[in-house]
Amino acid sequence: MSIASIAAPHRPPRRPWAWLWLFGASQLLMLALWWRFGWAAGLLAMLVSHGAMFWGTLWPRSRLFGPVLARLPTQARAMWLTIDDGPSDDTPAMLDLLDAYGAKATFFLVAERAAARPQLAREIVRRGHGIGNHSQSHPQAWFWALGPGRMAAEIEQAQAGLRAVTGVTPRWFRAVVGMANPFVSASLKKLALARVAWSARGFDGVRGEPDSVVARIVADFRPGAIVLLHEGAPHGNNVAIVEGVLRAMKDAGYVAVVPE
Q: What is the mean pLDDT of residues 11-30?
A: 85
Going through 72-146 in order, the beta strands assigned E by DSSP cover 78-86, 105-109, 130-133
50, 84, 89, 99: the active-site residue = 84
**Runs of H (alpha helix) within 117-174:** 118-126, 148-166
Percent of the chain clearing pLDDT 90 (strictly above): 79
Mean local confidence (pLDDT), 142-149: 96
What's the pLDDT score for residue 151?
A: 98
Given this model, what pLDDT does residue 3 score?
Answer: 45
Q: Which of 83, 85, 81, 96 is nearest to 232 (CA)?
A: 85
Catalytic residue from among 129, 134, 138, 230: 230
CB neighbours of 235 closer than 8 A, spacing ≥ 6? Answer: 206, 207, 208
At 29, the pLDDT band (50, 70, 90 cuts) reads confident
Is the confidence at residue 2, as pLDDT, over 50? no
* pLDDT for 1 beyond 70: no
Q: Is the pTM of this model over 0.85?
A: yes
Give the torsion sign (CA, 223, 212, 247, 83): positive
- Does residue 119 register a pLDDT over 70? yes
Sign of the alpha-carbon torsion through 13, 15, 16, 19: negative
Positive or negative, the CA dihedral 128, 130, 135, 140 is negative
Structure confidence by residue, pLDDT tens digits, 214-255: 999 999 999 999 999 999 999 999 999 999 999 999 999 999
- CA dist 78 to 1, 9, 97, 219, Å? 9, 16, 18, 15
Annotation says 85 is catalytic: no
pLDDT digits (tens, 9 = 90+) for 168-197: 999 999 999 999 999 999 999 999 999 999
Superfamily of domain 78-256: Glycoside hydrolase/deacetylase (3.20.20.370)
Rounded distance, CA 76 to CA 79, Å?
9
The helix/strand/coil state of 221 is: coil
Q: What is the pLDDT of residue 58?
A: 93
What pLDDT was estimated at residue 260? 67
Higher local confidence (pLDDT), 5 or 52: 52
Q: Which residues contact 189 (CB under 8 A, 6 or more apart)?
A: 12, 13, 14, 16
Does the active-site annotation cover 138?
no
Domain boundaries, the chain: 18-58, 78-256
Render pLDDT for 58-90 as a digit per residue (tens, 0 to 9). 999 999 999 999 999 999 999 999 999 999 999
